[in-house]
Structure 1
Amino acid sequence: MTRIILFEDAAFADLLPLTYWRSVFELRCGRRTLFDRCASRWGVAPVGVLTRSWIANVAADRLGLPVNEPLEPGDVLINPRWLPERGTTLPKPPFLGTCEDGIACIVCDKALAALLGPQDFLDRKRWSELIEQIGRASLPGAMIGYPWDLVLRNGQLIAEDWRASDAGIAGDVHASAVLINRDAIHVAPGARVQAMALLDASDGPVIVEKDAVIGSHAVVVGPACVGERSLVKPHAFLHGGSSIGPVCKVAGEVDACVFDGYSNKAHDGFLGHCYVGSWVNLGAGTTNSDLKNTYGTVRVPIGGKEVDSGQMFFGGVVGDHVKTGIQLALTTGSVIGFGANVACSRMPRTFVRSFSWVTDRGVEEGDVRRLASTAATVMARRNVTMTKSESDLFNKLPEIVAYFEPDVIAHRAAYESSEHRGQAKPVTQ
């Protein structure tokens, strides 16, 4: 029986701040996380993962799988960033396949299984050596490289997920609700579509998952997915290309956004072309820009430098456990780091460092113990307990953040040349 094992590579750093609190496998695109997408795509559930040492315990707890275990001959190693074309098949060993600029798949023979260790997957130099040693073949498809790729491809993947799923109306749809192109709408058992709501699947499917609620007079335009136990509040407008993860609340106007689980935008305000992490709370009136006045491509602060996204529309990234104050305005391509609190009357800088407290008095470093305590309280309100591994990671993250965020970019350079890639070391700030 084929053993599928998912691996992270060094590109996890280009997906920060979203990958501080989770492995790449847990990122959401379309109806599913990348982990669930791999299981669905290949018809075989992964039996293990290879990930960074400092997130290994969290990944093991969340996924319930062995982490960083030795490989065996015949193992198929798949990069969850790879989105293969339909019809792609797995080759026989030994095999190393690339897609765009990354290694997408490895099929191990005895020699390869013995050669590869977990940390090899996080070392770009090591990958180059392997490619020279083994050779490679090109694989069809695309790679998720940066956060905007998750937003850009979201609508397409919702449509693909729809084609592979059960369809039909099984939930409670009020007689006055309007369903356009009903054959492309799925309302799962336990879900409710309230009076005068509009679900428009003219341009793509609309998926309303189990126990989700679409409030009165809300508009949901496909392709869109509303996750389990999530609420699209009355009068909300959810544009096409949006995925709302489980147990979220969404109000106001949301255009082509991805929300991870347990995040709230429960009030008016516009959010466009943005990836929102988990356990986020956006204050009333929080609004972002997703288009430059010049109509040029959006440049995004990634890894201490500005990266041209190549996209005309991209609002930005909101990291996990972020809180914003009322009436906050965010400029195009903003990145708000993990655990930041932003409550100021003026537009903050494009990059807000993780653990920052940003107010009209200036920027201060947040108290990590206080932030962790608040996070545990927020999670408990949704009947979720912060695990010991999550608590340990939360308290370790300031050391890890110091490697990757711009005001300590010298430490990032030292980290890149270190033998400890994927492993945090204490840093004196």
Structure 2
Amino acid sequence: MTQIKFTLNMEDLKEEVMNSGLDAVIKSSLVLVLNEYMEKERDEYMESKSYERVGNRKDYRNGYYERDFTVAVGKLSLKVPRTRNGDFSTTLFEKYQRSDQALVLSMLEMVVNGVSTRKVTKIVEQLCGESVSKSMVSSLTVKLDPIVKAWAERPLNIMYYKYIFVDAMYIKVREHNKVVSKAVYIAVGVNEKNKREIIGLSVNHAETKAGWTQFFDQLKARGLQSPRLVISDAHEGLKNAIKDSFIATSWQRCTFHFKWNIVDRMPKKNSIEAKEMLKRMFDAPSPEEARKLKGEFIQAYENEKGYEKAIEVLDEGFEDAIQFLDEPIENRIKIRTTNNLERLNVEIRRRERVIRIFPNTQSALRLIGAVLIDYEKTLDQGNRKYLP
């Protein structure tokens, strides 16, 4: 196998690229090295050097053809050797194919991390000295489709997910020459190893009972079993879909949002003590103690002006908001709210703000799926567990 050893100072090359374009001398030197590499490859294939006469000749040299070749440091014009019967082929481009793939992956990574296609084209032009159209960058992201599809459709019957957090957010999508709002459904499960996984992603027209039922049906078709708890906000359609979709599953209303719903209906002034009572209620060690504190709260404020609506909200949603108290005490603080989804939503929003309007539903699934795959790697890394 032909081997040519050479060392290049990549930092100097990068500096040349970023400051003033690739220096002609460095560029020419690289062309000479690569041309020589291919020439040696042809000599090895021929088993003879140029103008060397040998018996049992394998083939005949047949000049060169020119080819432009873009690598990470710029565009090079190379002279590619050829033979008369056409059987010889240099391995140079095959070896550098990984570099081309790395460039494509870098472009994809920039897009996934929220860099606009316009900025990506400028970065690539700076690195390679070649312009890349926005449509090319967009078309490259299609390479994410099989990756996202395999992740989004992976089987869920190899693990039991005892707790599932679900939420929906809205994005803008262009559809039939109009810009419409669409709901992005997301599910995060806590598996039997007490680690979190993002187990579901779907884009639908709106957050409705039918939409949530369809989402849960997709999860069950992949093997999801009924969990102990589903934790979510109090969207009416979602509540009904949970009840209809899962057997013997309890619904845990997010206590963070529930408490804010109550506080929002309290008087703005002189309510510090009431807020403290509310906090103690949801920090209670048992359902019985929580119900006792609820009774004390109602007794203390039912005749107070401005608390009527707050008491009504508390009474209506209280039992759904204390389902976590029937779970092991060490798990409770992590399963009573959907706060662990908030960071995930922030990550999606950070990328989505760059795009603003997705050109179609598939592009939304592609990008959000790629973001979630990337984000999932940060969940409960190594020996860390979400639940003790």
More helix by share: 2
* Highest RCO, 1 vs 2 (Cα 8 Å, sep ≥ 6): 2
More strand by share: 1
Instruction: Work out whether the TM-score is over 0.5.
Output: no
Which band: TM-score by shorter chain?
under 0.3
**Higher CA-based Rg:** 2
**Superposition TM-score, scaled by structure 1 size:** 0.18
